[in-house]
Amino acid sequence: MTQSKIKELKQSLNNEFQLIHELCLYVLSASQRTELIRATLSTLHAFLSWIPLGYIFESPLLETLLNFFPMPSYRNLTLQCLTEVVALNFGDFYNAQYVKMYTIFMKLLQTMIPLNTNIPEAYAIGSSEEQAFIQNLALFFTSFYKSHIRVLETPGENIAALLMGVEYLTKISYVDDTEVFKVCLDFWNSFVLELFEAHHNLDNPAVTANMMGLQILILACGFILNKQMPLLPGMVDGLGSQLMQRRQLYAEPMSKLRMLMISRMAKPKEVLIVEDENGNIVRETMKDNDVLVQYKIMRETLIFRELQMATNNFSSKYLVG
């Protein structure tokens, strides 16, 4: 099927989705039949990634899904639907709805899985349905944070809910399941890179880079000459505060991430020394496999985490201290 035909069919269904939307909401609000509700949630899951956003954010749909979330029979399907919603990113127009949804979600999750729960242990002894729930939680958190973490970083109760969610994700990262860990690792890697780059890309990257380089040069000259060199006007309050803002917010999660990467570090590349047909001792090249790819990602995450913390410590000591 050609892309144009797919687009045409989607547009046609889009135009008629109001009836589907009304039917789904009616079933979810009025039916008591478990299988019918599960079928309706599965239908919504298939549509949510591309239907008009008004059907999601300007209707009772999200509230209805959150009402079903604590129910064991529907929580996995509901969580899959919510994950489709949080993976959407069309600007800032619906930020308030995302914040509200996340806050309610975290309150419900605490009643289902208290934060002090040993999630890796619970996963190991849990049923397949319970294990699927943990897997879906990993997808929900990573999808939300990749697209909308910034809207939760504003001062207020959002911060507490954000850090609580990051703590849940850290615990989930210890689950002894390769696929679950891959999902978590993919987020941690991109998150640490983004945090590191955030310290080097402020409002005006070119000016910031030049000013930072000049400031470090002045400080270095001071060390060499054993003299106190003057800081550039405006650098302390402007650059320093921006460099420190997100570091302070994520200081504890980053510390825990370091322990996670060390404790779960994958096996590095093996070095095999063999004798070839001519009697020469040579190094045999091994092909990359999943474990080696995972090792490289974990190593990169850990390196950038350490670089980020080193940069923050330098900024704290010499630019703002």
- Which pLDDT tens digit goes with each residue over 233-256? 444 444 445 456 777 888 889 888
Query: pTM for this structure?
Result: 0.75
Read out DSSP for 171-240? HHHTSS-HHHHHHHHHHHHHHHHHHHHHTT--SSHHHHHHHHHHHHHHHHHHHHHTS-PPPPTTIIIIII
Are the C-beta atoms of residues 100 and 152 closer than 8 Å to each other?
no
- The reported pLDDT for the residue numbered 161 is 94
User: Which residue from 206, 279, 208 is spatially nearest to 240, judged by alpha carbons?
Assistant: 208
3-176 under CATH 1.10.287, yes or no: no
Q: In whole angstroms, give the CA distance from residue 245 to residue 201.
A: 13
Average pLDDT per run of 10 along the chain, which is 321 residues long? 70 75 92 95 89 88 95 96 92 90 96 95 95 97 94 85 96 93 90 72 45 42 44 44 70 86 69 70 64 68 61 51 48
pLDDT tens digits, residue range 176-203?
998 999 999 899 988 888 877 755 554 4
Q: What's the rounded Cα separation, in Å, for the pair 44 and 38?
A: 10
pLDDT at 311: 54
Helix, strand, or coil here: 233?
coil
Instruction: Supply the pLDDT for residue 155.
Output: 74
Query: Is 267 strand, coil or helix?
Result: coil
Domain ranges of the chain: 3-176, 205-319
CA-CA-CA-CA torsion sign (122, 124, 125, 130): positive
Q: How many whole angstroms separate alpha carbon 304 and alpha carbon 309?
A: 8
Residues 6+ away with beta carbon under 8 Å from 162: 149, 152, 153
